[in-house]
């Protein structure tokens, strides 16, 4: 809503790009759809309420806001906030982002008035903004409210959780496919598993402790990773989709029949693999030529050596001859070939058109 149109300077070294109202409205709609998978909005007495701060911010004139809200804020205190002080020491900060803390405090005041909300929970980087809301409620309404913050989730190496070489991990399947989502958890670093299980899993404490122990005693089995991947993918994408993507992960490495995957799941499973593309109607080259074209090996001679050593696979079927060339009948859904070198090195061939 309103704060989404302004942008929070917390943790930022430079100004955020401003988004128009229609884009932010679309975000609001999408966020609610994502939250509905986890939180019940339907029960009239106990269901969650999703409030849009644009509802109470947009009708207020600039003059009203300055007189009724801005009057209660000390510029000295606002300048002392880490998010502001850090920016002033480097690139500077616009009045727009400088005012963000006032808008968030106004939100807490309105939630207190409209919904009797007396506790705001947020990440540790939001402490200053939340406390500003407590002060505003006390000054305007004479009421008491409370703040609760939790540490930002960080990996064992200190980097923020969810940030990868390719960007963030998203709940929206259009941004991060269910298969990529599953793989993210499955491929998490062993050192991160205790924290991830304790934060995200709904399993019992005893079961979580058992899974953490398996990371130490049998790390190769990745039981803890798989259980967390299965649980969270089910939570966000549903049980049926979780089963599909887990089957796809197994199929890529020959542990189930890859021909049983539907096209959408196969698309997702192959999306991140090295690949080469062939125009429709062209004859399919040999396995050796195809693997070299994907870049998994640096030469055709290296690809031939893999065949000789017994490590060449097409759609999880062993390739016995250096001269073997797949046929159209081998194409999965008339579109893909899966190449595998040894146990774990995968590549895809896509026939275009």
Percent of the chain predicted with pLDDT > 90: 62
Is the separation of the CB atoms in 260 and 318 below 8 Å? no
Crossing angle of the two packed helices 178-186 and 239-252, in degrees rounded to 10: 70
Q: Which residues pair with 28 in a beta bridge?
A: none
Is the separation of the CB atoms in 314 and 262 below 8 Å? no
Q: Give the pLDDT of residue 249.
A: 87
Q: Which residue has the tokens 């309103």?
A: 2
What are the helix (H) ranges across 253-295?
Answer: 263-270, 287-294
Q: Give the pLDDT of residue 90.
A: 80
Q: Give the pLDDT of residue 4.
A: 76
Q: What is the pTM of this model?
A: 0.79
Q: Which residues pair with 312 in a beta bridge?
A: 341
How far apart CA 253 and CA 164 sit, in angstroms, is 24
What single DSSP character describes residue 47?
-
pLDDT digits (tens, 9 = 90+) for 152-190: 888 888 877 765 545 678 898 888 889 999 999 999 999
Tally of residues, the chain = 353
Identify the structural domains of the chain with CATH numbers, from first to last. Answer: 2-150 (3.40.50.620), 163-256 (1.10.240.10), 275-352 (3.10.290.10)
pLDDT digits (tens, 9 = 90+) for 211-221: 999 999 999 99
Is the separation of the CB atoms in 193 and 212 below 8 Å? yes
Is the separation of the CB atoms in 335 and 350 below 8 Å? yes
How far apart CA 138 and CA 78 sit, in angstroms, is 17
**What is the average pLDDT across 299-322?**
95
pLDDT digits (tens, 9 = 90+) for 33-84: 889 988 999 988 899 999 999 999 999 999 999 999 999 999 988 888 887 8
Q: For 38-105, give the DSSP string.
A: TS----TTT------THHHHTTS-HHHHHHHTGGG--HHHHHHSHHHHHHHTTT---HHHHTHHHHHH
């Amino acid at each position: 809503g309103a704060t989404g149109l302004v942008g929070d300077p917390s943790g930022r070294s430079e100004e955020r790009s401003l988004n128009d109202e229609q884009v932010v409205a679309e975000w609001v709609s999408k966020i609610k759809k994502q939250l509905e998978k986890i939180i019940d909005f339907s029960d009239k007495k106990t269901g969650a309420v999703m409030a849009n701060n644009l509802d109470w911010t947009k009708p207020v004139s600039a003059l009203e806001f300055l007189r009724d809200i801005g009057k209660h804020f000390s510029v000295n205190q606002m300048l002392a906030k880490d998010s502001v002080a850090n920016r002033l020491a480097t690139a500077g900060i616009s009045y727009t982002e400088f005012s963000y803390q006032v808008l968030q405090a106004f939100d807490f005041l309105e939630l207190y008035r409209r919904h009797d909300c007396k506790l705001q929970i947020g990440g540790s980087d939001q402490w200053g903004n939340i406390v500003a809301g407590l002060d505003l409620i006390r000054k305007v309404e004479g009421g008491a409210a409370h703040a609760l913050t939790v540490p930002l989730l960080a990996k064992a190496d200190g980097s923020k959780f969810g940030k990868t070489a390719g960007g963030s991990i998203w709940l929206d399947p259009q941004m991060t496919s269910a298969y990529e989502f599953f793989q993210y958890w499955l491929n998490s670093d062993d050192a991160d598993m205790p924290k991830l299980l304790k934060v995200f899993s709904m399993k019992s404490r005893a079961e979580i402790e058992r899974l953490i122990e398996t990371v130490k005693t049998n790390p190769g089995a990745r039981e803890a990773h798989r259980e967390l991947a299965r649980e969270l993918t089910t939570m966000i994408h549903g049980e049926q989709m979780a089963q599909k993507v887990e089957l796809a992960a197994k199929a890529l490495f020959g542990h189930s029949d890859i021909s049983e995957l539907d096209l959408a799941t196969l698309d997702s499973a192959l999306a991140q693999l090295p690949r080469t593309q062939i125009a429709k109607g062209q004859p399919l080259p040999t396995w050796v030529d195809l693997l070299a074209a994907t870049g998994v090996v640096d030469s055709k001679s290296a690809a031939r050596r893999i065949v000789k050593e017994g490590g060449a696979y097409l759609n999880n079927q062993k390739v016995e001859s250096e001269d073997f060339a797949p046929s159209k009948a081998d194409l999965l859904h008339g579109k893909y070939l899966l190449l595998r070198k040894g146990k774990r090195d995968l590549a895809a061939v896509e026939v275009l058109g």
